[in-house]
Amino acid sequence: MTPKERDFVAGLCATRAGLDIETERGFLVESRLGAIARREGFASVSDLIRAVRDRGEERLVWAVVESLAPATCGFFGDPPVLESLADDLAARSAAGAPVRVWSAACGAGQEIYSLAMLLEERGVRAVELFASDLSQRQVEKAQTGIYSSLEVQQGLSAGRLVRHFENADDGFRVAETVRRRIRWRRMNLMDIPAGVSAFDLILCRHVLDALLAPARVRVLAHLSEALRPEGRLVLGASESAPELAAIPGRAGVFEAVVGVARAA
C-alpha cells in the first residue's frame, strides 16, 4: 500500500465509523485488507482500494471499514468483572423488575455469550440480552454460535465447554439454551437508531480508545442516553466516561447518575 492509499482508507474509516486508523501501522492495515481483497476476487489490496474509490459501492466500503474495527475478545475476558456483573443482574432480576442488557460492540459474540452462560449457571432467566456490532459478518458468526477449537480455548474452562457447548462439524456450537437468550443486530454506534434505550447494563469494552476524539464523545453520549437511571456502562479498564459516575473499586464500570442531564 502507498501512503496515499493508507490515508484514503483512514479517512474512510474516520468518516463512516469514527475509527482512528494509525496509518504508520501499515502491515496490520494491509494484512486485514488483503483478506478482503482475496475474498472479493481482487488481485491486490491496491485494486480493492481503487474499486472502493472509483465505484463507491456501499458493500465494498463497509467491508473495508468493518475489517479495521477493533478485534473481538475471547470468552470470559476479565472474569472478576463478568462475575460481578452477573451477580448484579441476578440481584436486579430477583427484585422483579425487567432487566435489559446490551453488548454494544459484540464482535463475534464471545463476551455476551460468556455473560449468558453465567446467568444460566445462576438460574437467572428474566434478563433480556441484546447484542450488536459494526460488522455484519461478525454478527452473523455470533448468531451461529460456532467457534473453532482455538477460539474455545481462549478463556473457556473444560467444564464450561462441556456444559454450554455441543460438537459441531466446524468446531463447537453454543448450546441452544444459551443462544436463544440473545437478540442480534448490526449497528453503527455513531448512529444509534431511535428506540435503542432503557438498558440496565451496556457492555462496550475497548471500543472508545479506538475512536477519534469527536467520535468518542459522540458514541459515549449515545451510550449514556441508552442507559436507565442507575444503569451501568462497562468500558475497558483504561477508558473513561466523564458524564457518568465511576464505581469505586471496579475499573471501567460507570453508573448513570439520577437527576443529572446527559448530553444529547
- pLDDT score recorded for residue 233: 96
Q: How far, CA to CA in Å, does 125 sit from each of 71, 96, 177?
A: 30, 11, 11
Containing H/E element for 231?
strand 227-234
Average pLDDT over residues 66-78: 86
Residue 78 φ then ψ, to 5°: 55, 65
Residue 8 has pLDDT above 90, yes or no: yes
Four-way CATH pick for 79-255: 3.40.50.150, 3.40.250.10, 3.20.20.70, 3.40.50.300: 3.40.50.150
Q: How far is CA 254 from the centre of its chain?
A: 17
pTM, rounded to two decimals: 0.92
The pLDDT score that the predictor gives to residue 19 is 96
> Using CA atoms in the order 236, 33, 66, 72, what is the torsion angle rounded to 10 degrees?
-40
What pLDDT, in 10s, does the model give residues 194-228? 889 999 999 999 999 999 999 999 999 999 999 99
Question: What is the reported pLDDT for 258?
Answer: 61
Enter the C-alpha cell of residue 234.
462497562
User: Alpha-carbon distance 132 to 185, whole Å?
Assistant: 5
Q: How confident is the model at residue 260 (pLDDT cuts 50, 70, 90)?
A: very low
Partners of 202 in beta bridges: 102, 233
Span 98-118, average pLDDT: 96
How high is the pLDDT of residue 56?
Answer: 84
Ranges for all domains in the chain classified under CATH 3.40.50.150 = 79-255
